[in-house]
């Protein structure tokens, strides 16, 4: 996004103006939908999270104090909404019972060389618990202590699940490339 949303629209949203809320939604919906997709296993779930997130945003927008960027605040609302959505719908994050993933080599592997669409496609094939940890750490920039608090797990579990998530990500990528465990 090139520039922040107009201050008048923001104030009108706080005052529950439907036209301003529509403009706000149109301005931020595509970037927030991207967040919802990263935390969802299905498009329908992402759409539900998007709607729930905007309801929360419009309900709590007056609490945004202008400290920091509005978009960063919105990202936090949508990440937390996605996590709450899965807990409330009993799509619990299985962080301990997921089968072990074999070690695979790094053979010039780097997520930085992958496009956004390819990363999203791979992440959508991952176990939801691994996908969530990877999103929170690598995409959203949360520290392990914050992830532990958000998910109700220990910091050590967060670290070990991130390592496993990275392995699963690489395993899926190598499989897409036609390699078995990183070898030709």
pLDDT in tens, 114-128: 777 787 788 888 888
User: Which tens digit of pLDDT belongs to each residue from 128-174?
Assistant: 888 889 888 888 888 999 998 888 889 999 999 999 999 999 889 88
pLDDT given for residue 111 in this prediction: 60
Task: Say whether pLDDT at 25 is over 90.
Answer: yes
CATH classification (class only), 7-88: mainly alpha
Task: Say whether pLDDT at 80 is over 70.
Answer: yes
Task: Tell me the average pLDDT across 90-103.
Answer: 38
Among the residue ranges 34-38, 90-94, 111-115, the one predicted with the least confidence is 90-94
Mean pLDDT value across the chain: 81
Answer whether 7-88 and 111-176 agree in fold: no
pLDDT given for residue 53 in this prediction: 96
Is the overall model pTM greater than 0.85, yes or no?
no
The CB density around residue 9, as the number of other CB atoms within 10 Å, is: 18
pLDDT given for residue 15 in this prediction: 94
Reduced to 3 states, what is the DSSP secondary structure of residue 93?
coil
Distance CA 30, CA 76 (A): 16
Supply 33's token pair: 């939908």
- Residues 12-42 as b/e (b if ≥16 CB within 10 A, e otherwise) read bbbeeeeebbebbbeebeeebbebbbbbbbe
* Beta-bridge partner residues of 183: 180
Task: Say whether pLDDT at 106 is over 60.
Answer: no
pLDDT given for residue 141 in this prediction: 86
Instruction: Give the contacts of 164 (CB within 8 A, at least 6 positions apart).
Output: 98, 100, 101, 130
Looking at domain 111-176, its CATH architecture is Orthogonal Bundle (1.10)
Among 38-42, 53-57, 141-145, 152-156, the range of highest mean pLDDT: 53-57
Distance CA 177, CA 113 (A): 14
pLDDT given for residue 110 in this prediction: 59
**Closest among 42, 34, 11 to 24, alpha carbons compared:** 11
Task: List the chain domain ranges.
Answer: 7-88, 111-176
**Closest among 42, 115, 52 to 79, alpha carbons compared:** 52
pLDDT given for residue 88 in this prediction: 67
């Amino acid at each position: 996004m090139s520039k922040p949303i107009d201050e008048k629209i923001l104030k009108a949203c706080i005052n529950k103006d439907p036209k301003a809320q529509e403009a706000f939604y149109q301005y931020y919906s595509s970037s927030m939908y991207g967040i919802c997709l990263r935390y969802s296993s299905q498009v329908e779930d992402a759409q539900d999270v998007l709607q729930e997130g905007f309801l929360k945003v419009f309900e709590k927008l007056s609490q945004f104090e202008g400290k920091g960027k509005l978009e960063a605040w919105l990202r936090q609302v949508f990440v937390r909404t996605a996590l709450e959505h899965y807990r409330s719908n009993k799509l619990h994050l299985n962080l301990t019972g997921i089968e072990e993933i074999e070690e695979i080599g790094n053979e010039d592997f780097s997520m930085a060389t992958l496009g956004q669409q390819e990363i999203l496609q791979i992440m959508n094939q991952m176990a939801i618990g691994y996908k969530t940890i990877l999103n929170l750490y690598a995409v959203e920039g949360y520290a392990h202590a914050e992830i532990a608090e958000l998910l109700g797990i220990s910091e050590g579990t967060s670290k070990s699940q991130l390592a496993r998530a990275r392995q699963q990500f690489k395993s899926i990528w190598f499989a897409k490339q036609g390699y078995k465990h990183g070898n030709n």
